[in-house]
Amino acid sequence: MQIKNKDLESFDGLIFDLDGTLINSMPIHNKAWIDTLAKHGLETTEKELMTYAGIASVMIVDRLNQKYGLELHPQEISDEKELIFKERFNEVTLAKEVLEIAIKFKSHKKISIVTGGERETVSMVLDKFEMREHFPVVICAEDTKRGKDTVEPFLLAAQKMGVEPSKCLFFDDGDAGLNGALKAGMEVLKVDLSSQEIYSEF
């Protein structure tokens, strides 16, 4: 995997998104959303869903309610979607090239995960791919009141790592999280698993 336009040695902390960055799971998440929402009369697309990439499931339902004038129950819809995702969990694969970046630098840098995923599902991923030892700090959806499109989870991760936000670099596939990290004063790299590239422009 090619990394463009960043010197990783210049940062004290490296922060990674999970879905779509450390693991190849976004197509499965999107299919679970499409199937769940269709049961409740809402047709959506992967393109629309990717605009919410990195945002907690209950927050996604809130935004869909606002956008389409619906009254879907955020937690119930989120639970339905997560159940479908878990049924297809065996289809999730590891993005080995991205994980290898964390492994390479963990001996002399602080390493963490910031994800919009719920802790139960995140724990399944960490256990399946034996990643816990590499990421001593993991920020999940339940850890903050606001999601990855805000500064809150990133500032919490920086605090727990003991690193200034300006010395952190965040890897993510979704623009919402990248923008949140930028607002927090971090630098960012966008991950594109389909093209096997990591780059600074997005």
pLDDT (tens digit, 9 = 90+) per residue, 113-134?
Answer: 999 999 999 999 999 999 999 9
Q: Considering the domain 2-25+93-199 in this protein, what is its CATH number? A: 3.40.50.1000
CA 141, CA 74: separation in Å to the nearest integer?
A: 14
Average confidence (pLDDT) over 150-177 = 97
Q: How many CB atoms lie within 10 A of CB 199?
A: 15
CA 163, CA 177: separation in Å to the nearest integer?
A: 19
Instruction: List where CATH 1.10.150.240 sits in the chain.
Output: 26-90
Average confidence (pLDDT) over 48-68 = 93
Q: Pick from 118, 107, 124, 112: which is nearest to 156 by CA? A: 112
The per-residue pLDDT for 135 is 98
Pick from 7-11, 39-43, 147-151, 195-199: least confident = 195-199
The per-residue pLDDT for 199 is 72
DSSP secondary structure, 94-154, as one string:
E-HHHHHHHHHHTTTSEEEEE-SS-HHHHHHHHHHTT-GGG-SEEE-GGG-SS-TTSSHHH
Instruction: List where CATH 3.40.50.1000 sits in the chain.
Output: 2-25+93-199
Domain spanning 26-90: CATH 3.40.50.880: no
Q: What is the pTM of this model?
A: 0.91
CA 127, CA 182: separation in Å to the nearest integer?
A: 30
